[in-house]
């Protein structure tokens, strides 16, 4: 099964599907991979590859609104069939909400100044295009990072937030632990540190579930046993980066499922959810869920 929330990626996959009769193409989010597999009658898998983030077709098509270098509508949705656009969100969100998203998901030092500038600007004219936003951000971000456009962090943050990328990843990791057969492998390619940290922490917690009790006088046989065995991390080599410069920030982490049964919570205790923003902003949209609420349900295991 191949899964993507972008209808255009799905259309491309449908064309390629005819080259291999084993492939089933599904339009949907990674968070619901277990449900999609169940609909196909599959409850266990031997391998999952999560290739996270945005694709080159999404960045290169100005009409998708992901690029601060190309003039286009301020959209930034991976799934263009639901949710709200970046323009809609920026037209309504408060200074505090915008600041929180940009500071947290973009790790941007000038988040407050950017948020204030967005709200001041929309009083006179709405922010409709990518260049409207890129130029506004460039006017308030005073220190430039080498080789980086001043709007890089802001665009990354809004994209992560609108597409609920970290929340989807948290749910996907919890699902992966449930559906991997013993000996099955999970491979995750991430493109920024927030995602990679989440994957790393999940694998570490599942590989060493007794770490917190290590100093307690508990006999070895009573210690929680590993759910995953980490097989390490792979970074792109020079040849790969020179062939595709967008690969430079990629990190591939691989782990293997052991035979140990999952704990009673279904493994959700291994999934870090503390980095998710609690906000009501996406409730204005067409069916997008609230990150904060779902983060809590991930913790509860629903």
Residues in contact with ligand SAM by the rule CB under 6 A? 3-6, 9, 29-30, 51-53, 55, 78, 165, 168
Query: Closest approach of Cβ 53 to ligand SAM, in Å?
Result: 5
* Phi then psi dihedrals of residue 178, to 5 deg: -75, -40
Query: Closest approach of Cβ 30 to ligand SAM, in Å?
Result: 4
- Pick between residue 9 and residue 203 the one whose CB is nearest to ligand SAM: 9
- Pick between residue 9 and residue 101 the one whose CB is nearest to ligand SAM: 9
Terminal Cα distance for the chain, rounded:
23
- Pick between residue 144 and residue 248 the one whose CB is nearest to ligand SAM: 248
d(CA 34, CA 45): 10
Residues 73/84, Cβ–Cβ less than 8 Å = no
Query: Closest approach of Cβ 294 to ligand SAM, in Å?
Result: 12
Query: Closest approach of Cβ 66 to ligand SAM, in Å?
Result: 10
- By residue count, the chain amounts to 302
* Phi then psi dihedrals of residue 148, to 5 deg: -125, 135
d(CA 157, CA 107): 8
Q: Nearest-CA neighbor of 154 among 178, 174, 127, 124? A: 127
Query: Closest approach of Cβ 238 to ligand SAM, in Å?
Result: 20
Q: Which residues, at least 6 apart from 275, have a Cβ–Cβ distance to it below 8 Å?
A: 104, 166, 194, 197, 198
Residues 244/275, Cβ–Cβ less than 8 Å = no
- Pick between residue 108 and residue 168 the one whose CB is nearest to ligand SAM: 168
User: Could you tell me which residues are beta bridge partners of residue 3?
Assistant: 26
3-class secondary-structure state, position 188: strand
- Pick between residue 32 and residue 99 the one whose CB is nearest to ligand SAM: 32
Query: Closest approach of Cβ 222 to ligand SAM, in Å?
Result: 38
d(CA 246, CA 267): 33
Q: Token pair of 189, please?
A: 């390619």
Query: Closest approach of Cβ 33 to ligand SAM, in Å?
Result: 8
Residues 188/166, Cβ–Cβ less than 8 Å = no
């Amino acid at each position: 099964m191949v899964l993507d929330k972008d209808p255009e990626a799905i259309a491309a996959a449908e064309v390629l599907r005819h080259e291999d009769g084993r492939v089933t193409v599904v339009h949907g989010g990674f968070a619901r991979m277990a449900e999609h597999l169940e609909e196909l009658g599959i409850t266990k898998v031997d391998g999952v590859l999560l290739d996270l983030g945005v694709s080159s077709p999404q960045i290169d098509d100005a009409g998708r609104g992901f690029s601060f270098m190309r003039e286009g509508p301020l959209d930034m949705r991976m799934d263009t069939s639901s949710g709200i656009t970046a323009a809609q969100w920026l037209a309504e969100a408060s200074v505090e909400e915008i600041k929180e998203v940009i500071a947290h998901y973009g790790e941007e030092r000038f988040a407050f100044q950017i948020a204030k500038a967005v709200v001041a600007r929309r009083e006179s004219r709405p922010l409709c295009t990518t260049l409207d936003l890129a130029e506004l951000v460039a006017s308030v971000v005073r220190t430039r990072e080498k080789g980086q456009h001043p709007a890089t962090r802001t665009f990354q943050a809004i994209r992560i937030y609108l597409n609920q990328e970290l929340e989807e990843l948290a749910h996907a990791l919890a699902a992966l632990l449930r559906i991997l057969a013993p000996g099955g492998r999970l491979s995750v390619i991430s493109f920024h540190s927030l995602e990679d940290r989440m994957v790393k922490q999940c694998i570490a917690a599942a590989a060493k579930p007794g770490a917190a009790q290590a100093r307690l006088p508990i006999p070895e046989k009573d210690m929680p046993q590993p759910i995953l065995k980490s097989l390490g991390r792979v970074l792109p080599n020079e040849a790969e980066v020179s062939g595709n410069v967008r690969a430079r920030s990629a990190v591939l982490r691989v782990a293997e499922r052991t035979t140990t049964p999952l704990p009673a919570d279904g493994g959700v205790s291994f999934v870090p959810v503390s980095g998710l923003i609690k906000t009501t902003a996406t409730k204005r949209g067409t069916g997008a869920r609230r990150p904060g609420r779902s983060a809590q349900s991930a913790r509860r295991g629903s």
